[in-house]
A and B are shown apart, each in its own frame.
Chain A
Amino acid sequence: MSSASPVKTEGFVRDFARRSVQRPWRLAAEASALLIAAVVAFPLYWMVLSAFKPAGEIESTEPRPWTLDPTVDSFRRVFGQQEFGRYFLNSLIVAVTVVAVSALIAFLAATAVTRFRFRFRTTLLIMFLIAQMVPVEALTIPLFFQMRDLGQLNTLGALILPHIAFSLPFAIWMLRGFVKAVPEALEEAAYIDGASRTRFLWQILFPLVFPGLVATSVFSFISAWNDFLFAKSFIISDTSQSTLPMALLVFYKPDDPDWGGVMAASTVMTIPVLIFFVLVQRRLVSGLGGAVKD
């Protein structure tokens, strides 16, 4: 999805900014933008910094915004903790499964609601919208019993299944824009060339919508990766099925937190999401514009 249309507009906006804002004002604006960026990034900086600080420096009453002798002690402690790698893997399994499955299902559903007109279509869309608002957390109780009855308690399935369901409505809603954007002329051309509907779906539509799928996936990825409540409620006794958020809290004991460990674990946990975000950043921005707009 090359950014064709906004280029011009963007140029205009920049033009507008250049012309209407006088120089000193723009410099002030830029200075404050940089300052705000620094403030916003500061917690992340502090997290990484603390992860590398030696224990003595973290627990010092004179915190310094730098460290002269960085160490990986905290990381060693984190990975030395029983099965941290395993938790990481568990989190990854949950997030990747949720992303893949929900992306596929959402793609099909979004195609149905944008490319076809059928009875109850609008009703369905409204239902999806309402479903999106359901507070996941409120459903922890019934889901707990449901997972118990399905024999999924203490397994990763108990985390995967609900997250797929909860990420679907938003994914469908957001994907609509991307599916709609594929010109219908293309569909016609495909049929004229003798492509079947399935073929069109998977070999033409799917690749074209894929960037949108990736952008949408960020949301399901985050919700699955960050999940704390389900992990806490459904993985009760079998810690080998635990995920990262729970592992992190092993280091965080309210009275005497091991800050180095917490920050190192936090860093490890944040990095995959950051990478994902940076990768899809551009599509995300345009995708949001699209999803919101139509």
Chain B
Amino acid sequence: MTNRPLPGAAPPPGPSAQPASREGGPDGAQPGVAAPPAPRQGGSGPAKGASPAPVRTAARPGRRGGGGRKSPLARGGWTPWLYLAPALVVIGGLLVYPVYQLGLISFLEYTQAQVSGGEPATFQGFGNYATLFGDPQFWQVLLATVLFAGACVVSTLAVGCALAVLLTRVRAVPRLALMMAALGAWATPAVTGSTVWLLLFDPDFGPVNRILGLGDHSWTYGRYSAFALVLLEVVWCSFPFVMVTVYAGIRAVPAEVLEAASLDGASQWRIWRSVLAPMLRPILVVVTIQSVIWDFKVFTQIYVMTGGGGIAGQNLVLNVYAYQKAFASSQYSLGSAIGVVMLLILLAVTLVYLRLIRRQGEEL
């Protein structure tokens, strides 16, 4: 096997390896036209894409981007942009524009008065940020968010990977049982998951305290035990993604490699650490980053399980904090500033992720 460890993890016959079919010669040179559609559309320049839909200034021969590289892909002139248009419009209007607005509001004075139109919004510069950064509660919440998300990520990954390995060691029935249970947990909506876990750990009626003999110990009262409870729920509903993905990855590792390792006398742990983990690196990177992003943004669980951020806000995380600032106390600009901070942190994570992908030499 080459250094691309996972060809053919999915049934679709190894897309990554696939372009070969169209490699080589003439395509690249043929202006504009996709590869062999030539017979039908070849000749007449503008007629090329015409049959489909609207007017298209089809296939500008000279367009760049097709590149001389060994690209097997077609250069479709305007066609790709036509296909992309709906997506770009929707994402632009409902994602990019709100991000811009978020940034804008965070620089304005924006409270109930401005919302109702009573007063004009005034520019504050970095005033909101200064207020925010001067508030010790913000730093406390930020720290709690980072630690909480970190704990969630580590536990989710550990549980997910361990169970993925376990799945490869057992026969069909236990594997199916575990898979089904995990899918069930995965499918459970965050709101219902939160309420169910609250009932399980309810001091009066919950089975967990009975089993553990904790009497009427309240899990949501203490700061750490409340975070721990939320953490358990978050791990419960997010490990399945990791488990299923890593399992799919392990299945795709060529058996000879594993066999060779075990013939050489490597222990299970050693095989995981020295063979599987490096081969699964791309997958592990994805699930790690995905988990970081999800766990950093936990909202519903905290909101429902700790009643909107816990006693005196002891269980606030950034997301809930921003929500409370904006919608509970109408400080929309402060809420937006918190949102911007979150956005920047996640953007940094994303950039790290991109670098990691790039280093692996993945082609996008």
Query: A residues within 8 Å of B by Cβ?
Result: 1-6, 9-10, 12-17, 19-21, 26, 29-30, 32-34, 36-38, 40-44, 46-47, 50, 58-63, 65, 104-106, 108-109, 111-122, 124-126, 128-131, 133-143, 145-146, 161-162, 164-166, 168-169, 172, 177-178, 180-185, 187-188, 191-192, 194-199, 201, 212, 222, 225-226, 228-229, 233, 245, 248-249, 252, 254, 257, 259, 262-263, 265-267, 269-270, 273-274, 276-278, 281, 284-290, 292-294
Contacts and interface: CB of A to CB of B under 8 A. Distances in A.
Interface residues of B, number: 148
B134 interface: no
A114 B86 CA distance: 16
Contacts of A5: 8, 10-11, 13-14
Most buried by B among A117, A138, A142: A138
A257 B293 CA distance: 32
24 contacts: A5-B10, A34-B174, A36-B178, A40-B184, A106-B87, A109-B84, A112-B81, A113-B80, A116-B73, A137-B323, A138-B342, A141-B336, A142-B98, A187-B35, A188-B37, A191-B39, A196-B40, A226-B191, A245-B189, A249-B304, A278-B180, A278-B183, A292-B283, A293-B16
B98 A29 contact: no
B364 interface: yes
Interface of B: 6-16, 18-19, 21-22, 34-41, 49, 51-53, 63-67, 71-76, 79-81, 83-84, 86-88, 90-91, 93-99, 101-102, 105, 115, 163, 166-171, 173-175, 177-193, 195-200, 202, 204-207, 210, 236, 241, 244-245, 247-256, 258-259, 262, 282-283, 286-287, 293, 296-297, 299-300, 303-304, 307, 319, 322-323, 326-327, 332, 335-336, 338-340, 342-343, 346-347, 349-350, 353-354, 362, 364
A109 B185 contact: no
B64 to A, nearest CB: 6
Given A43-B200, A44-B188, A124 B84 contact: yes
A135 to B, nearest CB: 5
A29 B184 contact: no
B255 A197 contact: no
A177 B297 CA distance: 27
Nearest to A5: B8
B229 to A, nearest CB: 12
A116 B90 contact: no
B158 to A, nearest CB: 13
Given A142-B97, A142-B99, A162-B94, 7 more contacts: A30-B170, A50-B199, A115-B74, A124-B84, A134-B346, A192-B36, A196-B40
Q: Is the interface of A mostly helix, strand, loop or mixed?
A: helix
A105 B95 CA distance: 15
A275 to B, nearest CB: 9
A59 B205 contact: yes
B108 to A, nearest CB: 11
B192 A248 contact: yes
A112 B83 contact: yes
Contacts of A6: 8-11, 251-252
A277 B353 CA distance: 29
4 closest cross-chain pairs (CB), A and B: A181-B12, A12-B255, A290-B10, A289-B248
Most buried by B among A40, A129, A270: A40
B65 A121 contact: yes
Contacts of A109: 83-84, 86-88
B99 A134 contact: yes
Given A109-B83, A118-B75, A198-B52, A228 B319 contact: no
A218 B21 CA distance: 32
A13 B168 contact: yes
B11 A116 contact: no
Contact of B205 (A1, A259, A267): A259
B53 A198 contact: yes
A25 B112 CA distance: 65
B364 A3 contact: no
B40 to A, nearest CB: 5
Nearest to A139: B98
B11 A1 contact: yes
B91 to A, nearest CB: 6
Contacts of B97: 142, 146
A3 B11 CA distance: 4
A191 B195 CA distance: 55
Nearest to B325: A141
Contacts of A4: 11, 13
A47 B169 contact: no
Contacts of B79: 112, 116, 197
Given A139-B99, A141-B336, A165-B95, A183 B189 contact: no
A278 B247 CA distance: 18
A228 B95 contact: no
A124 to B, nearest CB: 7
